[in-house]
Structure 1
Amino acid sequence: MMTLRKIVAKNQQIEIAHEDIPLLKPNYILIKTMYSVISPGTELGMMESSTDREVPLGYSAMGEVVEWGEGITDVEKGDLVACYGAPFVHHGEYLLVPRTLYTRVPESVEAKEAALAGIGAIAIHALRIAKLQFGEAVVIAGLGILGQMIAKIANAAAYHVIACDLYEERVAMLASDNGIHAFANVEQMKAKIFESTNGHGADAVLVCTGGKRSPLTHESLKWIRNKGKVVIVGDVEPDFPRDLMFGKEAELLISRAGGPGRYDEVYEKQAIDYPYGFVRWTEGRNIAEYIRLVSERRIDVQPLITAEVAFDDVLGEFEQLRNKKTSTLTKLIRY
Structure 2
Amino acid sequence: MKAARSIDGRLEIADIPVPETTDRSVLVRTEYSAVSTGTELMVLRKGINAFLGYSATGIVKEAGAGVDHVKVGQRIVCYGAHTHADYFHASRNHVAPIADHVDPREAAFAGIATIALQGLRQADLRFGETVVVLGLGIVGQLAAQIAHAAAYRVIAMDLMETRCAMLEQAGLGDVCRSPEQLRDRVREATRGQGADCVLICANTKEHRLIDQALDWIRDKGKIVIVGDTNTEFDRNKLFAKEAHITISRAGGPGRYDADYEREGRDYPYGYVRWTLQRNLDEFARLLGSGRLNLKPLISGVYRLEQLEEAYERAKLAPAETMGLLLRFGD
Shift of 1:48: 1.0
What is the rounded CA distance, in whole Å, between the counterparts of 2:302 and 2:218 in structure 1?
44
Residue in structure 1 matched with residue 313 of structure 2 by the alignment: 320
Residue in structure 1 matched with residue 191 of structure 2 by the alignment: 198
Residue in structure 2 matched with residue 285 of structure 1 by the alignment: 278
- Between 1:269-278 and 1:75-84, the stretch displaced more is 75-84
What is the rounded CA distance, in whole Å, between the counterparts of 2:173 and 2:251 in structure 1?
23
What is the rounded CA distance, in whole Å, between the counterparts of 2:218 and 2:244 in structure 1?
11
Shift of 1:322: 3.3
Shift of 1:57: 1.8
What is the rounded CA distance, in whole Å, between the counterparts of 1:164 and 1:57 in structure 2?
30
Residue in structure 1 matched with residue 13 of structure 2 by the alignment: 16
Task: Give 5+ residue unaligned stretches, structure 1.
Answer: none
What is the rounded CA distance, in whole Å, between the counterparts of 1:57 and 1:207 in structure 2?
25
Closer, same or farther: CA 285–27 of 1 in aligned 2, 3 Å: same
**Which is richer in helix?**
2
Q: What letter corresponds to residue 239 of structure 2 in structure 1?
A: F
Residue in structure 1 matched with residue 156 of structure 2 by the alignment: 163
Closer, same or farther: CA 208–314 of 1 in aligned 2, 3 Å: same
What is the rounded CA distance, in whole Å, between the counterparts of 1:213 and 1:56 in structure 2?
30
Q: What letter corresponds to residue 15 of structure 1 in structure 2?
A: E
Shift of 1:202: 0.6
Equivalent residues of 1:61, 1:89 under 8 A apart: no
- Between 1:317-326 and 1:290-299, the stretch displaced more is 317-326
Residue in structure 2 matched with residue 175 of structure 1 by the alignment: 168
The yes-or-no answer on 1:66 pairing with 2:61 is yes
- Between 1:70-79 and 1:198-207, the stretch displaced more is 70-79
- Between 1:68-77 and 1:25-34, the stretch displaced more is 68-77
Shift of 1:77: 2.5
Shift of 1:74: 3.2
What is the rounded CA distance, in whole Å, between the counterparts of 1:160 and 1:317 in structure 2?
35
Residue in structure 2 matched with residue 224 of structure 1 by the alignment: 217
Per-residue deviation, residues 140-162 of structure 1 (Å, max 9, x unmatched): 00000000000001111111110
Residue in structure 2 matched with residue 93 of structure 1 by the alignment: 86
What is the rounded CA distance, in whole Å, between the counterparts of 1:134 and 1:268 in structure 2?
32
Equivalent residues of 1:40, 1:329 under 8 A apart: no
Equivalent residues of 2:253, 2:276 under 8 A apart: yes
Residue in structure 2 matched with residue 114 of structure 1 by the alignment: 107
What is the rounded CA distance, in whole Å, between the counterparts of 1:47 and 1:312 in structure 2?
17
The yes-or-no answer on 1:25 pairing with 2:22 is yes
TM-score by length of 2: 0.95
1:247 to 237, 240, 246: 240
What is the rounded CA distance, in whole Å, between the counterparts of 2:230 and 2:258 in structure 1?
26
Residue in structure 2 matched with residue 81 of structure 1 by the alignment: 76
Per-residue deviation, residues 1-32 of structure 1 (Å, max 9, x unmatched): xxx22112233322212221112211111001
How many residues align? The count is 328
Q: What letter corresponds to residue 320 of structure 1 in structure 2?
A: R
What is the rounded CA distance, in whole Å, between the counterparts of 2:313 and 2:169 in structure 1?
29
Equivalent residues of 1:136, 1:159 under 8 A apart: yes
Q: What letter corresponds to residue 18 of structure 2 in structure 1?
A: I
What is the rounded CA distance, in whole Å, between the counterparts of 1:309 and 1:50 in structure 2?
24
Per-residue deviation, residues 299-322 of structure 1 (Å, max 9, x unmatched): 211111242111221222212323
Shift of 1:237: 3.5
1:143 to 105, 111, 136: 136
The 3-state SS of whatever aligns with 1:173 is helix
- Between 1:314-323 and 1:145-154, the stretch displaced more is 314-323
The yes-or-no answer on 1:215 pairing with 2:215 is no
Q: CA RMSD in A?
A: 1.5
What is the rounded CA distance, in whole Å, between the counterparts of 2:249 and 2:206 in structure 1?
19
What is the rounded CA distance, in whole Å, between the counterparts of 1:246 and 1:205 in structure 2?
17
2:41 to 34, 39, 44: 44
Shift of 1:324: 4.2
Residue in structure 2 matched with residue 268 of structure 1 by the alignment: 261
Equivalent residues of 2:13, 2:305 under 8 A apart: no
Per-residue deviation, residues 105-133 of structure 1 (Å, max 9, x unmatched): 21221111211111121111100100111
What is the rounded CA distance, in whole Å, between the counterparts of 1:172 and 1:145 in structure 2?
13
Q: What is the identity percentage for the equivalent residue pairs of Structure 1 and Structure 2?
A: 42
Shift of 1:60: 0.3
Per-residue deviation, residues 231-257 of structure 1 (Å, max 9, x unmatched): 100012411110110111110010001
Residue in structure 1 matched with residue 297 of structure 2 by the alignment: 304
Task: Give 5+ residue unaligned stretches, structure 2.
Answer: none
The yes-or-no answer on 1:5 pairing with 2:2 is yes
What is the rounded CA distance, in whole Å, between the counterparts of 2:94 and 2:61 in structure 1?
16
The 3-state SS of whatever aligns with 2:259 is coil
What is the rounded CA distance, in whole Å, between the counterparts of 1:297 and 1:306 in structure 2?
20
Equivalent residues of 1:160, 1:180 under 8 A apart: no
Shift of 1:326: 6.6
Closer, same or farther: CA 211–25 of 1 in aligned 2, 3 Å: same
The 3-state SS of whatever aligns with 1:307 is strand
